[in-house]
Amino acid sequence: MTYANNKVAQILGTTYPLIQAPMSWITNARLVAAVSNAGGLGVLGPNAGGLSSPNAADLPHQPRTVADKVAAYREEIRKTKEQTDKPFAINIIMPAADEEIDEYNQGLLEVAFAEGVRHFITVSFGIPNKKIFAYILSHGGVIIHRPITPTVENMRAAQELGAHLLVATGYDEGGYTPERPLGTFTVVPTMVDAVDIPVLAAGGINDRRGVNAAFALGAQGVFIGTRFIVTKESPAAESTKSKILQSSVDNIVRISYFQRSLNTPQAQEYASVYNSNPQEDLDSKIQQAGGLRPGMLVGDLEKGIISVNMGVDVIRTIPSVANLIKDLME
């Protein structure tokens, strides 16, 4: 199958219309370069290479100041450039629509453009931030926008503000789930029909069947996270990869309003609290405990959580990134 006329691939400058999701803590230069070298768009996530985001500054082994964090991110960008000459992206988690660009995002944007990065996965919890869009566009960047909860309103707003591509995420996904419990099969065609620019499908896509279904729903590309965790180049702990291979959807529990996890002992504690008091702010507690880092990067299966999508049953091998992408897209 050829994607020469595919609009997503043309906009990205890639062989395939495939983007690796910017999973917090579970991306580094090796994984991202492998994805880009294999024809997709690799993405450095907010804690790429074990970096600290501003929200995890309490972790003692991490850089403390914003300047330190930006400098550490620059190093991960440079490591990626040493391993690929193909396009790759960084992740920008946006402030609210009309807020000023915060110091951390300003630093990331400046570093990215200085290092020749031109692709940005922008993430918003509502209408996208106008100032960040304007900054990226004024510097010749490519915007792939992903609202956490896709709606016709925020997708159209992103299009009007200049996004090049949009990501429609279904409730099947791993990571932070949308507020509305609408599956990928519901969300994707609705968003495709609502806008005039290409849409990528996200949420539960782990094999070629999922890719084919995404295209059948009207998407022109796929946005995949969980499946890349269980690859040879993934920085996830080997114990975590093994846990995922042995798991099924029946092993997934909801641990907060926005998050799910495989049923580790810590996840079961969070789930018990959530089930008895759904209003408790467990997301803050999870973040203060290191987020996904203990369970997924370090491999602490007792005290950590493991976030995966709802299609985990079909993940039963640990391929190289190149072989995975070939199996998904050809």
List the domains of the chain with CATH numbers. Answer: 7-234+315-328 (3.20.20.70), 248-307 (no CATH)
pLDDT at residue 63 in the model: 60
The answer to whether the beta carbons of residues 193 and 226 sit under 8 Å apart is no
pLDDT at residue 50 in the model: 81
Q: Which residue intervals of the chain are DSSP H helices?
A: 7-12, 29-37, 66-83, 103-114, 130-138, 152-161, 184-194, 208-216, 226-229, 238-245, 265-276, 282-288, 321-329
**How many whole angstroms separate alpha carbon 225 and alpha carbon 118?**
21
- Could you tell me which of 238, 235, 224 has the C-alpha nearest to residue 308? 224
pLDDT at residue 62 in the model: 59
**How many whole angstroms separate alpha carbon 177 and alpha carbon 174?**
7
**How many whole angstroms separate alpha carbon 89 and alpha carbon 15?**
15
Q: Is 58 exposed, middle or buried (0-12, 13-18, 19+ CB in 10 A)?
A: exposed
- Output the pTM of the full model: 0.95
Q: Which residues pair with 143 in a beta bridge?
A: 120
Encode 42-77 in three state secondary structure.
EEECCCHHHCCCHHHCCCCCCCCCHHHHHHHHHHHH
Q: Token digits for 223?
A: 């946005």
pLDDT at residue 64 in the model: 72
For 227, what's the count of Cα atoms within 13 Å in the CB-facing half-sphere? 29
Which tens digits make up the pLDDT trace of 211-232?
999 999 999 999 999 999 999 9
The ranges of the chain with pLDDT < 70 are 52-63
pLDDT at residue 6 in the model: 98
pLDDT at residue 49 in the model: 86
The answer to whether the beta carbons of residues 208 and 219 sit under 8 Å apart is no
